Amino acid sequence: MEEKLLENGYACRKSCDILKIPYFKQKLLYKGHIMSDEIKNQESLEHEVTQQEPVAERELEAITRDRNEWKDKCLRLAADYDNFKKRTAKEHIQWQQLITSKILRDVLGALDDVERAQTAQADSLQALDVLHKQLTSLLQSYNVTEMRDIKRFDPLYQEAVAHVPSNTHASGDVIEVLQKGYFIGDEVLRPAKVAVAQ
């Protein structure tokens, strides 16, 4: 292919070699400037990339900032939850100690009455009656009540410790209460120990 000269005297082939663009893609423009569609595309792509780089960097910074904020929130939440568990465990122990000490103070009051009865050398049966009444009222103050009118065996409320053959009782009837059972509120505090007819 023959070299074509432009108005300014540059050869098209030389320009193609300098720009490293294939000769057949060149277009001759006015005043001897040589540009190709490929160079235009490359320049527009470079322009778009340079414009997009700051946007991408800002987006990356925003995402990194959001991630760090969420990470910080998660770490704070985990620390708060750990502190909550420790605090509730400590409070649970304190409540147990408080309740136990209140009950023991009340029991000590009953013990004081027994000691006073002993020093007064009162009748032993009378002293036992006084102690029984005091302990019963102490239990009632804690909403503890005795299980009464136990006739049929119920495994939710009684524990069968003996099975007795009986001609006078139906099978499953409670023949004898060997140890009283108690409720605290509506819950079983201690099941009654009973002998059940076979």
pLDDT of residue 73: 93
Spatial separation of the C-alpha atoms in residues 62 and 69, rounded to whole Å:
11
pLDDT at 11: 46
Residue in this structure with the two tokens 């002293």, named with its chain if needed: 127
Give the residue, 51 or 71, on which the prediction is more confident.
71
Q: Binning pLDDT at 50, 70 and 90, where does residue 105 land? A: confident
Residue among 109, 185, 173, 118 nearest 145 (CA): 185
CB 151 within 8 A of CB 182: no
Per residue in 19-52, pLDDT tens? 444 444 444 444 444 455 555 566 666 666 566 6
pLDDT at 79 over 90: yes
SS3 35: strand
pLDDT in tens, 140-198: 888 888 888 888 899 999 999 999 888 888 888 999 999 888 888 888 888 999 999 98
**Domain-wise residue ranges, the chain:** 144-198
pLDDT > 70: percent of the chain: 69
What's the rounded Cα separation, in Å, for the pair 26 and 16?
Answer: 8
| Token couple for 106 | 């009340």
pLDDT at 103 over 70: yes
Using only the alpha carbons of the chain, give its radius of gyration. 49
Tell me, what's the pLDDT at 53?
A: 65
Alpha carbon 60 to its chain's center: 33
Residue 62 pLDDT > 70, yes or no? yes
The CATH code that applies to domain 144-198 is 2.30.22.10
**11 against 133, higher pLDDT:** 133
Is pLDDT above 60 for 82?
yes
pLDDT of 144 reads 86
For residue 145, the model assigns a pLDDT of 87
Amino acid at 3: E
How many angstroms separate the CA atoms of 90 and 96, rounded?
10
DSSP string for 40-89 = HHHHHHHHHHHHHHHHHHHHHHHHHHHHHHHHHHHHHHHHHHHHHHHHHH
pTM for the full predicted model = 0.48
pLDDT digits (tens, 9 = 90+) for 110-151: 777 777 776 666 566 777 777 788 888 888 888 888 888 888
Amino acid making up residue 143: N
